[in-house]
């Protein structure tokens, strides 16, 4: 499996997904398709897991954007088809049933940063570098990164990063809200696992429903978002897990959740 451009292993309900295209883990067509195939397989095995961690192989990069050589063969029609497919694959990551945590090391640039923004949570090592350098090639982020960045960055700061192609360090990314935590070098995956382990102890159906509400609410006006919250929250009251959580709280014991 490790010869694939993306592969995974499941460790105690955590799926560790690795982008395996070193040294820079460039997101060419084949690598994106491999990521899509992994998330499709994980969707088929979603009952076995409660969280996903996404990382990059090698020492240099989480993912450092596209394969620039492929740009030379592009025409508008080919580009439209490829971007459409990229949107589908990135949406598979963003809307995966369980939370996805990006464990970022090294370079996280262009399409790599756009992919990280599809994840629910991002932990970056202290020497990580993040940015949208696409304007250096007279293009711009085309995998949904501009839209997703608007939920984290002020408009002017997003324009500044996109228009300049500036690459920022992990501390600046944390200050701006692009990532949730800066961790020591070599510890991004470990820190992501720690958070996932903590999350797995919570009510899985509540987490799954919360992710759905948070993701969908970004596209809704207030009354629609409230209606969605009402529907999903109310449906949870029919689950065994919800009753178990309440009973365990009242009985001062640790709940035993079974995702039903």
Cα–Cα distance for residue pair 245/253, rounded to 1 Å: 9
Is 244 catalytic? The answer is: no
Residue 100 · residue 43 · CB < 8 Å:
no
Helix (H) or strand (E) holding 161: helix 155-164
- Beta 181-183 vs 14-19: how paired, if at all? unpaired
Among the listed residues 30, 15, 122, the one whose alpha carbon sits nearest the alpha carbon of residue 69: 30
Helix (H) or strand (E) holding 151: none
| CA dihedral over 53, 126, 179, 114, signed as positive or negative | negative
Is 191 catalytic? The answer is: no
| Residue tagged active-site, from 9, 48, 94, 134 | 134
SS3 of 164-188: HCCEEEHHHHHHHCCCCEEECCCCH
DSSP 46: G
Cα–Cα distance for residue pair 257/245, rounded to 1 Å: 8
DSSP 72: G
| Residue tagged active-site, from 33, 48, 97, 114 | 114
Active site residues: 114, 134
């Amino acid at each position: 499996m490790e010869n694939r451009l993306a592969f995974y292993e499941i460790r105690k309900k955590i799926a560790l997904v690795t982008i395996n295209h070193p040294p820079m883990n460039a997101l060419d067509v084949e690598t994106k398709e491999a990521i899509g195939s992994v998330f499709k397989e994980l969707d088929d095995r979603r009952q076995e897991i409660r969280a996903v961690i996404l990382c990059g192989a090698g020492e240099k990069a989480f993912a450092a954007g596209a394969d620039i050589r492929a740009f030379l063969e592009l025409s508008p029609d080919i580009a439209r088809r490829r971007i459409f497919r990229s949107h589908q694959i990135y949406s598979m990551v963003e809307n995966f049933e369980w939370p996805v945590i990006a464990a970022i090391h090294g370079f996280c640039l262009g399409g790599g940063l756009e992919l990280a923004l599809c994840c629910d949570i991002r932990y970056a090592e202290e020497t990580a570098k993040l940015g949208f350098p696409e304007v250096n090639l007279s293009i711009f982020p085309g995998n949904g990164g501009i839209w997703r960045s608007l939920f984290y960055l002020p408009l002017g700061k997003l324009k500044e990063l996109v228009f300049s192609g500036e690459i920022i360090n992990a501390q600046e990314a944390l200050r701006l809200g692009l990532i949730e935590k800066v961790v020591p070098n070599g510890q991004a995956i470990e820190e992501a696992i720690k958070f996932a382990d903590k999350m797995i102890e919570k009510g899985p159906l509540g987490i799954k429903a919360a992710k759905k509400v948070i993701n969908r609410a970004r596209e809704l006006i207030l009354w629609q978002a409230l209606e969605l919250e009402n529907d999903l929250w109310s449906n949870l009251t029919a689950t065994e897990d919800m009753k178990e959580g309440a009973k365990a709280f009242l009985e001062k014991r640790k709940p035993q959740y079974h995702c039903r």
